[in-house]
Structure 1
Amino acid sequence: MEDSTRVGYCVVASSFVAFQFFFSAPSPQLSLSLCPSYCTLPSVKRNEWNSRCVSTLHAMVVGLFCLYILWYDDAVNANPIWGDPGLVKLNVAITCGYLLYDLLLLIRYWKTLGDSLFVCHHLAALYAYGYVLSRGVLPYFANFRLLSELSTPFVNLRWFLDAAGWPRSSWLVLANGLAMTVVFFAVRIAVIPSYYAHVFSWYGSPEYKRLGLSVQVAWIGSSLALEVLNVIWMYRIARGFYRALCHSKAHKTA
């Protein structure tokens, strides 16, 4: 096993422990100081609140790291399949640690937090990212996929506002709903043509053939699975925002 791979697995373990710690200690304390209504929530909602705090932290760290790699990592951009994967492997390792933490959390609180779509998403992502960590392949495409985390803070903020009792017709809820819909569409749906155009531009090349069938299947199969999930979530988000907008108009009219 290469040293970089060992480091990657150590980062996965460290990430898992760090996110679990943040869920258990800093998140409740920060939430209570920033939002006094946190203490009035039932334990079930406090668990989900803390879970979403961890989710937001992960999304901000990984999302900003993704943008840096996309803009400044010339080796990855020059060879999307076999470019130097050092920074991408670090980012992927952080995400894998988070996914493992979140899967454990979903199983632990399945009755209240369990969601089969999230389980499918996490398993598909772990399956594909495992090849990035172990073999250092497809760094550009792995990084491109992680850009989708930029929409997560808006999704979580919507839930926080709802849990804190903000009316769905309020300007802040509607503004965040619009931002959430736009950003989710931009980083998860609008990029689909660009992503697959890049895939097809390398399809059949010597670099692509060098991957081997198992990596090719993991790459394309997990990508298609994530596409289906993103379309389902986009539909739910757009429908929810439309309903909130209609409710706001009806409230103002009344």
Structure 2
Amino acid sequence: MDTITKLGTVFASFVICQLIFHFVSSWFSTKVFPRFNSLSWEEKIDWNSRVVSTYHASVVGVFCLYILFFDKALRADPIRGDPWLVNVNIAITSGYLISDLLFLIFYWKAIGETVYIVHHCAMLYICFHILKEGILAYIGNFRLIAEISTPFVNQRWFLRTLRYQKSSEAYIINGVLMTVTFFLTRTAMIPAFYYYLYCMYGTDVYIGLGLLIQCSLIGSCVTIDVMNAIWMVKISRGWVKLIQEI
């Protein structure tokens, strides 16, 4: 996949995310959820941001699973493998991350949080190396599997904003799906990922990456995993609180 195509995909992803945020989300939400019109300005900004996030996570998640189970070429060479579909997936994610960073900055009072800035920058750093150097595609795809849990995280916020009771069937079912997918794709994969890095450490291929890329890879992943672990603790506490309230 040549550089022009990669940049074009990043730009197209960025534009689509902007269009969904500024036009599609409000139009669709008004027709499907009448309560959307009564939301505050801050809630509408957060709502539209989460619609974009859900769109991105759904597209990327499907690609990730397909690549994980069916891309034999990538599994054969997880370090230097450079399949076009992974590059497309990483480019889509890069466009989304850039777009969402702008949302966070321009609408800081409504949705701005430092932890999301750190998360997005760490993810962009990994994406940059994958697209620029044509390496670590397997690891990049492995990390993006975490996005499978994102639609359920957003749905929880939508249900709360629409005033669903925490004891309602929809809230509980989504809560279970959110917890299971978050644990499986973000928490349970942490030891598997670092075991993979441990097995790779010291090999000729790993040494060939160079110190900068090695430190970038490990530093970015540690940052993201610490945040995922903190979020998992918060989800667990939420369940304890919900059970006590029911």
| Structural RMSD (CA) | 1.1
Structure-2 residue corresponding to 1:218: 216
Structure-1 residue corresponding to 2:20: 22
1:105-184 equivalent positions in 2, closer than 5 A: 105-184=103-182
Distance 1:34 1:236 in 2: 31
Which has the higher mean CA deviation after the structures are superposed, 143-152 or 30-39?
30-39
Unaligned runs of 5+ in 1: 249-254
* One-letter amino acid of the structure 1 residue matched with residue 93 of structure 2: T
Distance 2:221 2:73 in 1: 23
1:188-203 equivalent positions in 2, closer than 5 A: 188-203=186-201
Structure-1 residue corresponding to 2:47: 49
* One-letter amino acid of the structure 1 residue matched with residue 88 of structure 2: L
Q: 1:96 aligns with which of 77, 90, 94?
A: 94
CA offsets 1:226-248 (integer angstroms, 9 cap, x no match): 11010111111111122122212
**With structure 1 as the length reference, what TM-score do the two structures score?**
0.94
In 2, are the aligned partners of 1:181 and 1:241 still within 8 Å (CA)?
Answer: no
Structure-2 residue corresponding to 1:79: 77
| % same residue | 45
- Structure 1 position 13, deviation (Å): 1.1
Consecutive aligned runs of 4 or more in structure 1 exceeding 4 Å deviation: none
* One-letter amino acid of the structure 1 residue matched with residue 7 of structure 2: Y
Number of equivalent positions: 246
**With structure 2 as the length reference, what TM-score do the two structures score?**
0.97
- Structure 1 position 85, deviation (Å): 3.2
In 1, are the aligned partners of 2:87 and 2:137 still within 8 Å (CA)?
Answer: yes
- Structure 1 position 223, deviation (Å): 0.8
Distance 1:26 1:225 in 2: 33
Distance 2:22 2:172 in 1: 31
- Structure 1 position 84, deviation (Å): 2.6
Find the residue that maps to 1:197 and give its secondary structure.
Answer: helix
- Structure 1 position 155, deviation (Å): 0.3
Which has the higher mean CA deviation after the structures are superposed, 155-164 or 7-16?
7-16
* One-letter amino acid of the structure 2 residue matched with residue 102 of structure 1: D
Structure-2 residue corresponding to 1:251: none
Distance 2:161 2:12 in 1: 31
Distance 1:179 1:161 in 2: 14
- Structure 1 position 5, deviation (Å): 2.2
